[in-house]
Structure 1
Amino acid sequence: MSFLPNSFTFGHVASIVITLLSGVAVMFLRLRASNRPTTMRKIIIPPLGMSTGFLMFVVPETHVPWTWALIAFAAGATVFAFPLIRTSKLERVGDEIVLKRSKMFIFILLGLLVIRLLVHNAVESRVSIPQTGALFFVLAFGMIVVWRIAMLREFMALKRE
């Protein structure tokens, strides 16, 4: 007798475990990056590096309707970017600009991870696994681009001071 529903497969369990491990790794890296000097390059590089992920759409199995992709991007850019923007503050410390960690930041990341896990199965039940991955990638890209643009604007304002 299994404790998992019949619809769960090894792939589902592996996906959840990998997602949890990735989430913990991201949180660890974000916490280490806090209170350290930042540069324009450190703000811009992550979304540029992530943009290479759009090459996944070369593979026909990842194709989704444009409207779905736009909705996923908009959800990331509005709903999911907002808490990250609110909990990420840059500050001038001497001649350097540092990212000050909010006490809520770790809880925001945990909340986003939980929401992702809950929504993932609902989405995956309606589209294929590659399409699910594509939609979540577009959502994450929308989130990181808007978050980093907000950080860049704040960075530029601090640089002008």
Structure 2
Amino acid sequence: MTTPFPLHPSFFVMIGFAVMAITIMIIRMRAAKKPATIKKILIPPLGMSTGFLMFLYQPFRLSISWAVIAFLSGALLLSVPLIMTSKFQIVDQDIYLKPSRAFTWILVVLLIVRLALHSYIEEFITIYQTGGLFFILAFGMLLPWRIAMYLRFRKVATQLAGQRSISTS
């Protein structure tokens, strides 16, 4: 019996990961050309948090230990390189994200690691659970990264406010 899709569903997941990574790289390059704002920093984790609704659907549910391990892996391992390469600079009285070549390479390496892990893990749990697990991993990576960006932004904004008060005195 043949199936309408001769390719395994994980193939489409891998394509989706690649498209998301390329999209993030393009968005990041464009974002470096516009001033950063607190809203632009904090909205992605808030928007992504709605994805937790998937766990209301039984096939996506996983054990709490797997979820905690996924979140901590994202937070402690995968977010660190992103935090290290996300810095701000003041240009013409505005705050910009400093462009970093390393950021692009880090995203590529993270994509490869995620794809390799995805293929391995999907041998042990369902494709739904694998998707949920990697969503938690991605959220665990995004949340600390954006919190660190917010804290750095506030620090640079304070410096900018200090420069403005000195120049107007």
TM-score, length basis structure 1: 0.91
Which amino acid in structure 1 is aligned with residue 39 of structure 2?
A: R
Offset from partner CA, 1:45-67 (integer Å, 9 cap, x none): 00000000000010011111111
In 2, the alpha carbon distance for the partners of 1:129 and 1:80 equals: 22
1:67 aligned residue (65, 68, 91): 65
In 2, the alpha carbon distance for the partners of 1:86 and 1:102 equals: 10
Residue aligning to 1:23: 21
Report matched runs for 1:6-155 at 5 Å.
9-155=7-153
Which amino acid in structure 2 is aligned with residue 114 of structure 1?
A: I
Which amino acid in structure 2 is aligned with residue 99 of structure 1?
A: L
Which amino acid in structure 1 is aligned with residue 134 of structure 2?
A: F
Alpha-carbon offset, residue 12 of structure 1: 2.5
In 2, the alpha carbon distance for the partners of 1:155 and 1:46 equals: 16
4+ aligned runs moved over 3 Å, structure 1: none
In 1, the alpha carbon distance for the partners of 2:106 and 2:12 equals: 24
Offset from partner CA, 1:34-80 (integer Å, 9 cap, x none): 24201011101000000000000100111111111011000100100
Q: Is the 8 A contact 1:72 1:135 kept in 2?
A: yes
Percent identity, aligned pairs only, is 43
In 2, the alpha carbon distance for the partners of 1:12 and 1:70 equals: 23
TM-score, length basis structure 2: 0.87
Partner of 2:87: helix, strand, or coil? strand
Once superposed, what is the RMSD of the aligned Cα atoms?
A: 1.3
Alpha-carbon offset, residue 83 of structure 1: 0.4
Compare CA radii of gyration and give the structure with the larger one: 2
Partner of 1:37: helix, strand, or coil? coil
Q: Is the 8 A contact 1:35 1:100 kept in 2?
A: no
Alpha-carbon offset, residue 94 of structure 1: 2.8
